[in-house]
Amino acid sequence: MSGSTPNLDHEHVAVLVIGAGISGIGCAHYLRTNHPQRRFVVLEARGHIGGTWDLFHYPGIRSDSDLHTFGFEFKPWLGEHTFASGAEIIRYLAEAVAEGDLGKRILTGHRVVALDWSSAQARWRATVTRADRHTIELTADWVFAGTGYYRYDSGYLPELPGINAYRGRLVHPQSWPENLDCSGKQIVVVGSGATAVTLVPALASNAAHVTMLQRSPSYILSLPRRDEVALWLQRRFGLKRGYGLARRKNMLIQSGIYELCRRHPRLARRLIRRLTTRQLPAGYPVDEHFHPAYEPWDQRLCFAPSGDIFRAIREGKASVVTDRIETFTTTGVRLASGKQLDADVVVTATGLQLQALGGIELRLDGVPVDIAERVSFRGMMLDGVPNLAYLIGYTNASWTLKVGLVCSHLCRLLAYMDQGGYDTCVAELPYPHMPTRPLLDLSSGYVTRGLRSMPRQGPRAPWIQPMSLRADKRMLRDAPVTDRNLHFRRAREAPPQTDLHGTRPLALTNTSV
């Protein structure tokens, strides 16, 4: 594509990249680097790049993993802090776009609403609505969905008894108003996940008081705000090599924490409790407010830069209440224990809603596809769906670590198809009624609520959605792109006698989620 604003009406591209967040920008870089001859475009529904980081604007918004693994492999982070603010991440992504000369490939205000695969033409037809409400169409040989896995238009809000009686300000973090001033206010944050753990210390800096109201505790692990070892490595070995060494170090730390929690949960529970107790006032009821009933990493572990939430509690600026909401009142919340929490502002940090492929309507030769009946192949394709790759990052490590592996594998796959003259690539289940299980192995509320709308995964590789960097490296980096379950063909050849379009029953094991 040439020019800064290409005309997409009836345009054909080799690869259509959906989403200009971390995944889409990463994919654009790898395509431009490995396949400079390929025409591709990145379509972003929002008015700016950044994806999640352009959407969320609540106080304290930051990464929940370290910068060296949250950054791209091809672009070192230059900041000194371990965690990045939302604004820093946006600037970093803008730099990646500028340095890679990707701006002319990205069109904002273009929402892909439907994709229809044509077997006869071996290409996708995309229906796109622009910000001016004009609808256009384009075709693509391949589609890469960098759409994440949750809804952007609305967060999750549970049924809150008596909420209409409340006369204060009610805010959801996913739609934080720009003009909201919390200075000197009494604030109740409903929730105990990563968003709440981020919000509480940020709001406590100028609010009268912040109360985190939770039904049950979460695990919170404090990590240093500055990574002194990483900074030393960069001084000692130079920016690029030092960044790479720090990145590998932090990968090992991330995987080590996760493996410890999964293999030795009792030990991990004791260690986390001990570290938490040290950061709270003497005599604080740790078991009531910071000792979950579930094992570490059954749900996501929350991270607190330099223990900021614990510091806010020590200083009396924040408190934690573990109870259930009986009803809202005109001035706040009455709890099941009978306690009343008055609040000028209530923040409902109650979670996200999962959504597969950004809610895009998917069809094969005009026949709708139920994504929930499809099975993940190598954690990046769906069975029976040709020439479509997606990216879902890790829940137990930095999302960005997956970007390099998936996008590099996609580039290898495209090169293999070029060499063989293939135009179609589709993964097919090895046998009917293959046992399947949920795509994500977490018991977090936002996951269990939304898994029924997500694809499934099988019992073993390659039909899995790994949450292990080691497993992904074996499957995506070290293994060949060919596989007995992956079928290639040319347009002049008759399609195989397999069902690419209709639905078929799957053995849905573990259907309790």
Nearest-10 Cα torsion for 297, 302, 305, 306 = -70
Structure confidence by residue, pLDDT tens digits, 457-473: 999 999 999 988 999 99
Structure confidence by residue, pLDDT tens digits, 180-193: 999 999 999 999 99
Range ranked top by mean pLDDT from 61-75, 76-90, 205-219, 481-495: 205-219
Residue 9 confidence class, pLDDT cut points 50, 70, 90: low
Please choose, from the candidates 451, 355, 455, 393, the residue with its C-alpha nearest in 3D space to the C-alpha of residue 153: 355
Residue 8 is predicted with a pLDDT of 63
Residue 82 confidence class, pLDDT cut points 50, 70, 90: confident
Residue 497 confidence class, pLDDT cut points 50, 70, 90: very low
User: Cα-flanking dihedrals φ and ψ of residue 86, to 5°?
Assistant: -60, -40
Q: Tell me the residue type at 497.
A: Q
pLDDT beyond 50 at 429: yes
> How many angstroms separate the CA atoms of 455 and 67, rounded?
30
CA diameter of the chain = 76
Residue 301: partners with Cβ closer than 8 Å, 6 or more residues away:
219, 220, 221, 257, 261, 396
> How many angstroms separate the CA atoms of 124 and 138, rounded?
8
Residue 512 is predicted with a pLDDT of 30
> How many angstroms separate the CA atoms of 176 and 128, rounded?
28
- The two tokens of residue 284 are 């604080």
Residue 354: partners with Cβ closer than 8 Å, 6 or more residues away:
149, 150, 151, 446, 447, 449, 450, 451, 453, 454
pLDDT beyond 50 at 270: yes
Position with higher pLDDT, 396 vs 309: 309
Residue 156 is predicted with a pLDDT of 86
Residue 199 is predicted with a pLDDT of 97
pLDDT beyond 50 at 172: yes
Position with higher pLDDT, 432 vs 496: 432
The alpha helices in 337-436, defined as continuous H runs, are: 400-420
The CATH number of the structural domain formed by 11-153+353-508 is: 3.50.50.60
Residue intervals of the chain classified under CATH 3.50.50.60 are: 11-153+353-508, 163-222+280-348
Structure confidence by residue, pLDDT tens digits, 133-153: 999 999 999 999 999 988 888
Q: So what's the architecture of 163-222+280-348 in CATH?
A: 3-Layer(bba) Sandwich (3.50)
Average pLDDT, the chain: 91
Structure confidence by residue, pLDDT tens digits, 304-343: 999 999 999 999 999 999 999 999 999 999 999 999 999 9
> How many angstroms separate the CA atoms of 144 and 380, rounded?
9
Nearest-10 Cα torsion for 321, 324, 327, 333 = 10
